[in-house]
Amino acid sequence: MSDYTPKPEHKFTFGLWTVGNVGRDPFGEAVRHRMSPVEIVHMLAEVGAWGVNLHDNDLVPIDATPAERDQIVREFKQALADTGIVVPMATTNLFYDPIFKDGAFTSNDPRVRAYALQKTMRAIDLGVELGAKVYVFWGGREGTETDASKSALESGKRFREALNFLCAYVKDNGYDLKFAIEPKPNEPRSDIYLPTVGSALGFIATLDHPEMVGLNPEVAHEHMAGLNFLHAIAQAWDAGKLFHIDLNDQLFGRYDQDFRFGSVMLKQAFFLVKFLEDMGYEGSRHFDAHAYRTEDYEGVKAFARGCMRTYLILKEKAARWNADPEIQALVQQINADDGTYSYLSGGYSKDKAERLKAESFDVPALGKRGLPYEQLDQLTVELLLGVR
Ligand code: DIG
Ligand code: MN
Ligand code: MN
């Protein structure tokens, strides 16, 4: 049995809004008292987290005076100093206040769009002051219930204009900060713009400073769209755009459940952890999740510990998968290549095209070839079940 104790080098983080979730849902009132940001920092230190993330208003109320803001930030910084907890990521709450009921950057009202930019600049200043290096944009209200209300094309242009302005703001201020877009297909809007990793990657390419902007994919959000999260982050990684990640769990086709990491789709969680560890992902392992509504704060701590323990257990399972002789023999067999067609790698040439057109293939034999995927997947399942 290995040691599954979280350590700073694991880079486990939680948002203030996650372990601070009071259990309110559309059909029920809060079930837990609200902890202060300082209390949350101490709880995260107690369970062994490395960092804490925040929306601006998780820390500073939207109507705080500058003096109140400074006092709150001072006390928060003291809690960070007392515990050693760091702030790797920050973001803006552009979804809770009624002013954003029809969006922030994509609102039809230019006053709301302008206010959203102002609020985000101030929140960026706060995030940088606290040491954040990644800034997330989750456009929770950027969407529609009826497409009679606004042009999807115009909304994309407004979103781009806002991000271009904010990228320029970061550059103008010399901030060491990169942006990470967080896609989600719906909820709280009926349809949210930039719904998936794929659509966000396409959007990033249209920005003035695409090098500053990447992705913060969330497990639950791709699952809500019925998509394979591993495939999504592999594409983001391939594009050099996996700047951050929101880990949790989620059944397909449900509202955003934000379950404890690994608590629902364990095999998908295994392949996700394997990918991150195999690739040497160096970013935060951020758990954007919350405890069941049934829990008290001891249950919330069990939730937080469970997220980190499951990640570490799956990390060990991934290492064992990579070292398992029977599994690796099958992987070798599946990827056998005698080099006959290696001339095709390295790009096109007329000679290569002519040579390939002259090749002959035993199509029936290739079609009959048996692939040992049942055996390989069974070995994977048995490894996860702890019998190998
Ligand atoms: C929800 O999945 C979103 C917001 O909580 C926040 O903007 C972002 C940061 O992880 N995730
Ligand atoms: Mn979510
Ligand atoms: Mn998230």
In a domain, residue 3? The reply is no
Closest ligand to residue 53's CA: 1
Closest to 138 (Cα-Cα) out of 238, 218, 243: 218
Are 143 and 281 part of one and the same domain?
yes
Query: What does pLDDT average to over the chain?
Result: 98
Taking a 5 Å cut-off on Cβ, the residues next to ion ligand 3 are 218, 246, 288
Specify the number of domains making up the chain.
2
CA of 112 to the centre of ligand 2 (A): 24
* pLDDT for residue 29: 98
Confirm whether 324 is a catalytic residue.
no
For 36-80, the pLDDT digits (tens) are: 999 999 999 999 999 999 999 999 999 999 999 999 999 999 999
Q: Rounded CA gap, 112 and 103, in Å?
A: 8
For 240-256, the pLDDT digits (tens) are: 999 999 999 999 989 99
Q: Given the CA of residue 258, which atom of ligand 1 is nearest to it?
A: 2
* pLDDT for residue 116: 98
In a domain, residue 312? The reply is yes
Are 331 and 190 part of one and the same domain?
no
What does the pLDDT average to over 99-104? 98
Are 182 and 272 part of one and the same domain?
yes
Using 50, 70 and 90 to split pLDDT, how confident is the model at 92?
very high
Predicted model pTM: 0.97
Q: Rounded CA gap, 176 and 374, in Å?
A: 48
Count of CB atoms situated within 10 Å of the CB of 355: 13
Q: Rounded CA gap, 201 and 195, in Å?
A: 11
* pLDDT for residue 2: 83
Q: Rounded CA gap, 237 and 232, in Å?
A: 9
* pLDDT for residue 127: 98
Helix axes 197-204, 152-172, angle to 10 degrees: 60
What does the pLDDT average to over 159-188? 98
For 112-133, the pLDDT digits (tens) are: 999 999 999 999 999 999 999 9
Query: Residues 3, 10, 42, 55: which is the catalytic one?
Result: 55
Are 228 and 281 part of one and the same domain?
yes
What does the pLDDT average to over 180-190? 98
Helix (H) or strand (E) holding 14: strand 12-15
Closest to 135 (Cα-Cα) out of 77, 83, 177: 177
* pLDDT for residue 14: 99
| Ligand 1 pocket, residue 19 CB under 6 Å | no
Using 50, 70 and 90 to split pLDDT, how confident is the model at 235?
very high
CA of 178 to the centre of ligand 1 (A): 16
What does the pLDDT average to over 369-387? 97
* pLDDT for residue 1: 66
Closest to 93 (Cα-Cα) out of 121, 56, 63: 56
Query: What order do you get walking across the sheet with 89-91 strand by strand?
Result: 213-215, 178-182, 134-138, 89-91, 51-55, 12-15, 285-287, 246-247
Confirm whether 55 is a catalytic residue.
yes
What does the pLDDT average to over 278-298? 98
Helix axes 297-323, 325-334, angle to 10 degrees: 60
Are 209 and 344 part of one and the same domain?
no
* Total residues found in the chain within this entry: 388
What does the pLDDT average to over 102-110? 98
Residue 157: domain span: 8-316
Are 290 and 331 part of one and the same domain?
no
Closest to 197 (Cα-Cα) out of 178, 166, 219: 219
* pLDDT for residue 56: 98
CA of 252 to the centre of ligand 2 (A): 13
Share of the chain above pLDDT 90, in %: 99
Is 290's pLDDT higher than 70?
A: yes
Q: 245: alpha, beta or left, given left = phi > 0 and alpha = psi -120 to 50? A: beta
Are 87 and 225 part of one and the same domain?
yes
The two beta strands, 134-138 and 178-182, are parallel
| Ligand 1 pocket, residue 91 CB under 6 Å | yes
In a domain, residue 97? The reply is yes
Amino acid at 6: P
